[in-house]
Amino acid sequence: QAVVTQEPSLTVSPGGTVTLTCGSSTGAVTSGHYPYWFQQKPGQAPRTLIYDTSNKHSWTPARFSGSLLGGKAALTLSGAQPEDEAEYYCLLSYSGAPAVFGGGTQLTVL
């Protein structure tokens, strides 16, 4: 089973920009991994922000965007708000195998 890696923690200033990344032990992440990004706040179920690399749900704030960057999936937050402080997880799909979550990134807005 592949290993999916994320930064354990990141800090961003209010109004600032930060990029979270999601890598795969099998090599470069491509659109064929259908990257997903989830946000989870303490005591709550996760919420899906991004699916299939860059698609947003109706509830996804415009300041979040998904992309592929340097062989990884990326989630960019532009104009961070205090309410964006949360744990963020990525998920990658692998052909013929179960999908795999990354270990999560704790984002602090400070």
Judged by CB, which is closer to another protein: 45, or 62? 45
Instruction: Read off the DSSP letter of residue 27.
Output: B
Q: Residue 101 CB, nearest distance to another protein (Å)?
A: 5
Residue with the two structure tokens 């592929």: 68
> Which residues are CB-contacts of 22 (< 8 A; sequence separation ≥ 6)?
4, 5, 6, 29, 35, 37, 72, 73, 74, 75, 90, 92, 102
Q: Residue 7 CB, nearest distance to another protein (Å)?
A: 13
Nearest to 74 by CA among 9, 5, 20, 11: 20
Per CB under 8 A, 91 contacts another protein: yes
Per-residue contact flags (x/-) with another protein for residues 26 to 45, judged by CB under 8 A: ----------x-x-x----x
Per CB under 8 A, 57 contacts another protein: yes
Q: Which residues bind another protein (CB under 8 A)?
A: 1, 36, 38, 40, 45-48, 51-52, 55, 57, 87, 89, 91, 97-104
